[in-house]
């Protein structure tokens, strides 16, 4: 009798086998240069956003904090990375106050405008400055979803904004089990 392999049933968009989001080198909010490879052995969630975001970014980070709570001890095998698309305003000091306020394990990453552009291009993530009434009151339109990597460092999933924590927890448990 031949057994067929069990098909993995992810709830988020399966990106397995795609060749983007391979790596980056950005400083975290403590000044340490971080690469995706630094987190091998952990599932990694990458979200592009900015600290002045009025809605998508804080709700996504709050949702990811809920994911960490719901994972319990498994959360130690997950790393959330917030990559700013607003390096002009999002200093390491600001990221250090903002990002860990959602969960102390979360890291905020920042690069120069050129580095930010390169990383976004590598992830096929969109962002664009939208002028405000004054020079400093602009906002940034951006991709509103999270990229999820397995513990081997391969891109596996895209979680759309507003899906809730349940689907992300479900999929992380699959990835952390070695699927």
Token digits of residue 12: 């988020």
- pLDDT value at residue 162: 85
Q: What local confidence, expressed as pLDDT, does residue 4 receive?
A: 46
Q: Angle at the Cα of 68 (from 144 to 102), degrees rounded to 5?
A: 65
DSSP 55: S
**What is the value of pTM for the model shown?**
0.93
Which tens digits make up the pLDDT trace of 65-117? 999 999 999 999 999 999 999 999 999 999 999 999 999 999 999 999 999 99
Question: Do residues 76 and 175 lie in contact, with contact meaning Cβ atoms separated by under 8 Å?
Answer: no
* Each residue's pLDDT tens digit, 132-160: 888 778 999 999 999 999 999 999 999 99
Q: Which residues of 96-127 are buried (b: 16+ CB within 10 A; e: fewer)?
A: bebbeebbeebbbbbbeeebbeebbeebebeb
Summarize the confidence of residues 165-176 as an average pLDDT: 96
d(CA 95, CA 17): 32
Whether the predicted pLDDT of 6 surpasses 60: no
Higher pLDDT, 7 or 105: 105
What percent of the chain is modeled with pLDDT above 90? 84
């Amino acid at each position: 009798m031949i057994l067929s392999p069990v098909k993995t049933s992810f709830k988020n968009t399966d990106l397995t086998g795609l060749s983007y989001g391979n790596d980056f080198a950005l400083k975290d909010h403590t000044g340490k240069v971080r690469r995706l490879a630094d987190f091998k052995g952990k599932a990694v969630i990458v979200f592009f956003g900015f600290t002045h975001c009025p809605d998508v970014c804080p709700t996504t980070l709050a949702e990811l904090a809920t994911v960490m709570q719901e994972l319990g001890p498994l959360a130690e095998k997950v790393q959330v990375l917030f990559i700013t698309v607003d390096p002009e305003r999002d200093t390491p000091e600001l990221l250090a106050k903002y990002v860990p306020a959602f969960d102390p394990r979360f890291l905020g990453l920042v690069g120069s405008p050129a580095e930010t552009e390169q990383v976004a291009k590598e992830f096929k993530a969109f962002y664009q400055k939208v002028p405000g009434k004054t020079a400093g009151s602009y906002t940034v339109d951006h991709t509103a979803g999270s990229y999820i990597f397995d513990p081997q460092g391969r891109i596996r999933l895209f979680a759309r904004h507003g899906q809730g924590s349940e689907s992300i927890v479900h999929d992380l448990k699959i990835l952390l089990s070695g699927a």
